[in-house]
Amino acid sequence: MIATAICTETKQLIANNTLVHGKVHSVFGRVFNVLTNDRHLISFLSDKILPAPRSICVDLPARQSMHVSGFLPGMSVAFSSTQVCIGSYLHIDLTRAREWDPHPTFNFDPIGEHLLVENIRSVRDILMCHGNLHGIAGITPFLLKTSPVAEERNPALNSAGELILPRINKLLACIISGDMESLRHAAGNVVGFGPGLTPSADDFLCALMASLLYSDAYYARNLSRTYQINNAIIGKIFERTTTLSAEMLSLAAQGWVAEGVRRLLLAVFAENGQRALKDRLLSVLDYGETSGTDLTAGVYAGCLLGMCLEDHGRTVNLASLLS
Amino acid sequence: MVLKTVIRRGEYYDSGRLMIVTRTISKLEGIIDAAVQMGTALNKEALKRTGLLDKDSEGASVDDLMISMKGTGEGVESALVQLDALLNQSSSGLQDSEYRPKTIDSALKAEPGLNFAIISVPGRFAKNEAMKALQKGMHVLLFSDNVSIEEEKELKTFAVSHGLLLMGPDCGTAIINNVPLGFANKVRQGNIGVVGAAGTGMQEVMTLIHKHGAGISQAIGTGGRDLSVTIGGAMMLQGLKALNSDKNTDIIVVISKPPAPEVSDKILQFIKDECRKTIVVNFVGGGRPESIEACGAISASTLEEAALRASELAGHANGAPRMAEEDLDRIARDEAKRLNAGQKYLRGLYSGGTLCYESMLIVRDFVGDVYSNTPLNKQMKLLDSAAPCKHTCLDLGDDEFTAGRAHPMLDTTLREQLFEHEASDPNVAVILLDIVIGYGSHSDPAGVFADLVRKHKENARREGRHLIVISSVCGTEEDPQNSLTQERKLQETGVIVMPSNAAAARLAGKIVSYANSEERRL
Amino acid sequence: MNTVNDIFGKQLKILNIGLEQFADDLTSQGIPCIQLDWRPPAQGDPEAADLLSLLLE
C-alpha cells in the first residue's frame, strides 16, 4: 500500500527514531490503529477519509476493507522513514506521502461578528436537524441556557443527556470563572461518559477545547488562559477514559483536531467561510455513529463560550449556573 | 430477574456496531434493559444508577467493553447466544443491515445449495478457505495470489479426485454457465469451450470470438502455475476432460504461455489420445506448431488467430475481418512520417499480463527484444521497473506493482501516472495501451485515458512532436462499459483503435521500425 | 463419482469470500451470491491460524 498523506509530527517522530515499533491495536473497515513503543496511537486511515493528528492515510482500494487487506490486531509494526512494515508481509510505502500539518490554523481573517453569531446559530440548527442525537448532543439547546429551543426537532433528552447536562454546564461555568480546581473536579465528572467506542462526552470535550482556542484567535486574545484551562480539563484522563479517547483529548487540548473539524472551525470563524459552512457541518456530522454530532455540539459550546468570555454581559443565567 | 454482564477485553468495535448490538439486545423478548459501553468510571456510575452494575462490570477496565443486560432467564440466555454473531456482523465497515454469515459452515446453513466459492482473501489464509470450500463440495475460483506451490498442489489433488474445479491460484477469469466470474466479460453463449492459464489471454480470445458472432460454452481458468512441472497441468487436464465430455461444447481453445516441455507433452498426448473435439492451441509465443498439429490440434500463433480459427470452425468468421496488411502498412508509414527526428521509442503500458506478453512477441519481429519488468529475454529486465528505457513494455498487473493495491484493470491511477510520464518524454513515438473492460474492471477506462490523451497530444503538438497512442478494447458491447462506447471515446481523441491486441502491437511495431529505419532518415 | 460436468447447466449458487466487488457484480446480474463476512481466523499471530485448523480437524 502507498501512504498518500502523513502527519508531520508522525514523520518527525519516525525520522528522529522516537517512533520505531508497535503493535496493531484495533482494525475496522477503513481504519486500523497502532499502539507504539512510546504509548501513542497512530491511525492508518483510508485516504477517502480526511487526515487526523498523528495519522497516516493510505490508498485502500474502494471496496476493500482493512480486514480483507490482511491487518490483524496484535501484528507487530516497524517504522522506518521509507516504509511501515506490518506483520511479516504487509508494507506501506511512505516515500510519496504528502505532509499534513496538525497544528491549528490561527492566522485566519476573522469574519464580522454579526456573521459569527449567524454561523453559530447555523451550527446549532443543522446539528439538531441532521445530527444523530443518540449520544449526548441533545443537550445542545440547554447549554448555558442562552439559546431558544430549536423548532424542528423535539430535543427531549435521553438518559445520557439528562445525566450529563448539569455536569457539563458546571464545567462551562468553571471555564468562565477560571477556577482551576473546580474545573479539574468538574471535568472528572464528565470525561469517559457516554456510549460509543470514544465516549460521547469526550468527543464533546475535544471539540470544546479546540473551539475555545479558535475563538481566542478570533478575538485576538492571549491563548495561554485557554491552554491552562484545557490542561485542567485533561488532567486525569488516562485513568478515566479509553486509550483511544485519551489520545484524542490530549491532542485536542492543543487545538489538534481532525482535518474535517479544522475546516469546520475555519468555516465558522474565518472570512469567506460561510458558503462552505453547511457542507462542512454535514461532513463532520457524518463521522462515526454519534461522534460527529457530539463533536459538533462541542463546537457550538466552545463558540458560545468564546463569545461569553469576550463579554460577560452576554451570559444569561450565569449566576445560577455557578451556585 | 437476571442481571448479566459480558466483558470483552482488547476487542474494539466501531460505534455503529455497538449501537446495533445495544438496540438489538434491548428489543429481544425477555430483556428489560441493556447497555453496551466502554468500562470507564462514569459509565459504570451510569450503570449503577440504572441497576445494571454487577461484579463483572465493576471490575472492567477503561479499554474493556461492557455488555450489560437485565431480563428473564431465557431472555438473557437467548441474548448471550446471539451476542457473538451481533458483534461480528458486517466487519467490512460498510453500511449493511442484512445478516452475513461468518464461516463457510454457517453460509451453508443459510443456503444449503451453495456450489461455488470465489476466494480473494490474502494469500496466507487462502489455502485453508479453499480447502474448506472444496471439502464442502464447492467448485472454487481462487483469485488470491501468494499461495505456495505446495498448497496449490494439495488443493488441486483434492479437487481432481473429487471432480471439482480449483481455478487458481492467481486466477481472475472464468465463465461457467454463461456467468462471468471474477474479471470476465459478458459474451454470447455458444459451442466454443476455453481452458486457459492466462486470464487476459482468455478474455481477449473470448471477446474476439463474440465479435466474430460465435459463442462460449464454458471458460475454465487454471491459474498461471498450472502448467509447471510440480502441478503438471492438473487443472488443464481436468478442464479438457470436462469440455471433452460436454455435449454443448464442440470446439476447445487452449491458451497458455509456453508450458514446461514435459507438461506440454502430457497435454498434447491427452489431446491426441482422448479428445474427440476439435482443439485450437495457442501456447503464446511458444510450443512447436508441428508437435501441436501432430496431435490433431490446430496451432494458433496469436490470441487473435486462435479466436479466428475457433470461430471459423463454429461457422462464424465474418463479423470482424482482419485488417488488410496493406492498410496497416499505409497507416504505419503515414504516422511515422509525422514523428520528429528524436521520437524513436515504443512504450507499452499494459494492465493485462498476457496481452503484454503477446505484444512483446509481436513487436520483437519488428524491433527486436524490448525492455520490461517481465521480459521475454532475461537480459532485458529493467533495473527500475518504473523507469522505462528505449523500447519498453510494462506489465502493470505484475506482483511488484500490485502488492497492496488494486489491479490496474480496476484502478487506473498508476497507469495514468506512467502515461503522463511517457507522453512527456520527447523520445517516445508510440504508446500502447490495452483497455480491458467487463466485470471487475474500472467503470470507464477509456474515458479516463481519453482525457489524458487529449491533453498530451496537444502538449506534444505545441512542442513539435507527434504523439501516437494505439489501443485495443478487450470487451464486448454487452459489458457494463460497452466496448463500442469505449472505442468511440478513444477514437474521438485521436487514439488509433485496433480490433485486437495483436493488431495493435503489429501497428506499433511497424511504426517504430519505420521511425528507426534508413528510409525515414532520408 | 462426481465430475466437473455436474455443474454445467446447473444454477450457480455462489459464496464470495473476500473482495466485495465480485459479489456486487454478480448481484447486479441477478446471480444469487452470498457475501461471507470474512475475518482472519485467529487474533494475533497469523501462524496460529493453521494450528487452529489442525486442532479443529
What residues in A contact C21, CB-CB < 8 Å?
A: 63
Please enumerate in sequence order all residues whose Cβ is within 8 A of that of A155, keeping only pairs 6 or more positions apart, or say none: A128, A133, A138, A140, A141, A142, A149
Length of chain C counted residue by residue: 57
pLDDT digits (tens, 9 = 90+) for B326-378: 889 999 999 999 999 899 999 999 999 999 999 999 999 999 999 999 999 99
Inter-chain CB proximity A201 and B41 less than 8 Å = no
Minimal CA–CA distance to A100: which of A60, A40, A58, A64? A58
Q: What is the pLDDT of residue B387?
A: 87
Decide: helix, strand or coil at residue B119. strand
* B320 has a pLDDT exceeding 60: no
Angle, helices B234-244 vs B149-161, to 10°: value is 30
Of all residues in chain A, the one with the smallest CA distance to C36 is A68
The CATH fold assigned to B101-170 is Rossmann fold (3.40.50)
Inter-chain CB proximity A87 and C21 less than 8 Å = no
Count helices and strands in chain A by DSSP H and E runs:
12, 9
Q: Which CATH class is domain B325-521?
A: alpha beta
A236 CB burial (10 A radius; 0-12, 13-18, 19+): middle
DSSP bridge pairs for A44: A32, A56
Inter-chain CB proximity C18 and A68 less than 8 Å = yes
B435 membership: H or E segment, kind and range: strand B428-436
DSSP state of A270: B
A156 CB burial (10 A radius; 0-12, 13-18, 19+): exposed
Question: Are the C-beta atoms of B467 and B339 separated by less than 8 Å?
Answer: no
The CATH fold assigned to B2-87 is Alpha-Beta Plaits (3.30.70)
Please enumerate in sequence order all residues whose Cβ is within 8 A of that of B123, keeping only pairs 6 or more positions apart, or say none: B144, B145, B146, B147, B169
Q: What is the pLDDT of residue A200?
A: 96
Please enumerate in sequence order all residues whose Cβ is within 8 A of that of B99, keeping only pairs 6 or more positions apart, or say none: B85, B89, B110
The pTM of this model reads 0.66
- How far is it, in rounded angstroms, from Cα A224 to Cα A214? 12
- How far is it, in rounded angstroms, from Cα A243 to Cα A40? 9
What residues in A contact B10, CB-CB < 8 Å?
A: 73
- How far is it, in rounded angstroms, from Cα B304 to Cα B429? 25
From the CB of residue B287, how many other CB atoms can be counted at a distance below 10 Å?
Answer: 23
Cβ pairs bridging A and C (under 8 Å): 25
DSSP bridge pairs for A76: A23
* B521 has a pLDDT exceeding 60: no
The CATH fold assigned to B180-320 is Rossmann fold (3.40.50)
Mutation target to probe the A interface, by most A beta carbons within 10 A, among B11, B13, B40, B410 is B40
Inter-chain CB proximity B245 and C5 less than 8 Å = yes
From the CB of residue A282, how many other CB atoms can be counted at a distance below 10 Å?
Answer: 15
Distance in Å, alpha carbon of C44 to nearest chain B alpha carbon: 11
Q: Does A89 touch chain C (CB under 8 A)?
A: no
Q: What is the pLDDT of residue A322?
A: 30
Q: What is the pLDDT of residue A308?
A: 85
Radius of gyration of chain C (CA): 16
**Closest Cβ opposite residue A67 in set B22, B91, B124:** B91
A6 membership: H or E segment, kind and range: strand A3-7
Average of pLDDT values for C14-36?
90
**Closest Cβ opposite residue C21 in set B163, B176, B440:** B440
- How far is it, in rounded angstroms, from Cα A131 to Cα A298? 13
Of all residues in chain B, the one with the smallest CA distance to A290 is B15
pLDDT digits (tens, 9 = 90+) for A269-322: 998 878 899 999 999 998 888 999 999 999 999 998 998 888 755 544 433 333
Q: Does C14 touch chain B (CB under 8 A)?
A: yes
User: What backbone phi and psi angles, to 5 degrees, belong to A309?
Assistant: -65, -25
Instruction: Characterize the bridge pairing of strands A31-36 and A21-27.
Output: antiparallel
**Closest Cβ opposite residue A289 in set B16, B38, B43:** B16
Cis peptide before A141 (omega within 30 of 0): no
Inter-chain CB proximity B117 and C17 less than 8 Å = yes
Query: What are the extents of the domains in chain B?
Result: 2-87, 101-170, 180-320, 325-521
A242 CB burial (10 A radius; 0-12, 13-18, 19+): buried
Distance in Å, alpha carbon of C24 to nearest chain A alpha carbon: 10
Q: Does C2 touch chain B (CB under 8 A)?
A: yes
A224 CB burial (10 A radius; 0-12, 13-18, 19+): exposed
Please enumerate in sequence order all residues whose Cβ is within 8 A of that of B157, keeping only pairs 6 or more positions apart, or say none: B234
Burial C33-56 (b: 16+ CB within 10 A, else e): bbbbbbbbbbbeebeebeeeeeee
Rounded to 10 degrees, the C-alpha dihedral A68/A72/A78/A82 comes to 10
What residues in A contact C18, CB-CB < 8 Å?
A: 68
Question: Subunits touching C (CB < 8 Å, at least 3 pairs)?
Answer: A, B
B166 CB burial (10 A radius; 0-12, 13-18, 19+): buried
pLDDT digits (tens, 9 = 90+) for B146-205: 899 999 999 999 999 999 999 999 898 999 999 999 999 999 999 999 999 999 999 999
Long-range contacts made by residues A310-316, C-beta under 8 angstroms, separation at least 24? A310/A219, A310/A221, A312/A176, A314/A146, A315/A144, A315/A146, A315/A176, A316/A144, A316/A145, A316/A146
* A147 or B9, higher pLDDT: B9
A93 CB burial (10 A radius; 0-12, 13-18, 19+): middle
Cβ pairs bridging A and B (under 8 Å): 123
Q: What is the pLDDT of residue C44?
A: 43
Mutation target to probe the A interface, by most A beta carbons within 10 A, among B7, B22, B42, B183 is B42
Q: Does C51 touch chain B (CB under 8 A)?
A: no
What's the whole-number average pLDDT of chain B?
91
Average of pLDDT values for B513-521?
72
Q: Does B100 touch chain C (CB under 8 A)?
A: yes
Q: Does B154 touch chain C (CB under 8 A)?
A: no
Q: Supply A169's cell numbers.
A: 454546564
Of all residues in chain C, the one with the smallest CA distance to A24 is C44
Question: Are the C-beta atoms of B52 and B43 separated by less than 8 Å?
Answer: no
- Interface residues from chain C to A (CB-CB < 8 Å): 18-21, 24, 38-40, 43-46
Helices marked H in chain A: 8-15, 113-130, 159-177, 180-188, 200-218, 224-233, 237-240, 243-252, 259-269, 274-285, 291-310, 318-322
Please enumerate in sequence order all residues whose Cβ is within 8 A of that of B519, keeping only pairs 6 or more positions apart, or say none: none
Mutation target to probe the B interface, by most B beta carbons within 10 A, among A27, A84, A89 is A89
Q: Which of B70-84, B227-241, B242-256, B424-438 has the lowest mean pLDDT?
A: B70-84
Cβ pairs bridging B and C (under 8 Å): 142
- How far is it, in rounded angstroms, from Cα B323 to Cα B505? 13
* B456 or B286, higher pLDDT: B456
Minimal CA–CA distance to B189: which of B203, B174, B206, B204? B206
Distance in Å, alpha carbon of B63 to nearest chain A alpha carbon: 5
Of all residues in chain A, the one with the smallest CA distance to B93 is A29
Give me the residue label for grid cell 533495473: B383
Q: Does A70 touch chain C (CB under 8 A)?
A: yes
pLDDT digits (tens, 9 = 90+) for B232-288: 999 999 999 999 999 999 999 999 998 989 999 999 999 999 998 999 999 988 768
Inter-chain CB proximity C9 and B90 less than 8 Å = no
Mutation target to probe the B interface, by most B beta carbons within 10 A, among C2, C7, C47, C52 is C7
What residues in A contact B14, CB-CB < 8 Å?
A: 28-29, 197, 288-289
Matching fold, domains B180-320 and B325-521: yes
Burial B112-128 (b: 16+ CB within 10 A, else e): eebbbbbbbbbbbbbbb
> Which segments of chain A have a pLDDT < 50?
146-154, 315-323
pLDDT category at C55 given cuts 50, 70, 90 is very low
pLDDT digits (tens, 9 = 90+) for B468-489: 999 999 999 999 999 999 999 9
What residues in B contact A62, CB-CB < 8 Å?
A: 406
Inter-chain CB proximity B93 and A2 less than 8 Å = no
